[in-house]
Amino acid sequence: MGTWLSAHRFDELVADALDLIPAKLSEAMDNVVVLVEPSNPDEPGLLGLYEGVALTMRDSHYAGVLPDRITIYRDALLEVCDDEQQVVEEVAVTVVHEVAHHFGIPEHRLHELGWG
């Protein structure tokens, strides 16, 4: 199992997935950067990771902090996919999943909504 895509093509798929997010939500994203890395050093099978302070948890003391990070892990995603179409779908799901964490949507709710 697994497929191969160039790093450039994979980055394009992540950008395409970000374009799927409705404009009102994209505009509401605040102080967050989306990165692509080969793999997570601690959990090589991890597809994506949100690190930061969710919008729902920010208060008047939230200022002067580094941007939140959404990291999409290329090698892990390519490993679980059999072809490019499956990569497109898995990247979209992973990006939406991690963006949802930025908006404070917890893991269990994402699973209830079918984004697990």
pLDDT digits (tens, 9 = 90+) for 78-115: 999 999 999 999 999 999 889 888 888 777 877 777 66
> What is the reported pLDDT for 82?
95
pTM: 0.86
Domain ranges of the chain: 7-112
Provide the sign of the torsion angle of the four alpha carbons 80, 102, 23, 7, taken in this order: negative
Q: Where are the alpha helices (DSSP H) in the chain?
A: 7-19, 23-28, 74-79, 84-102, 107-112
Query: At 103, phi and psi to the nearest 5?
Result: -85, 5
Structure token pair of residue 45: 């099978």
Selecting from 3.30.2010.20, 1.10.10.10, 1.20.1250.20, 1.10.645.10, what CATH number does the domain 7-112 have?
Answer: 3.30.2010.20
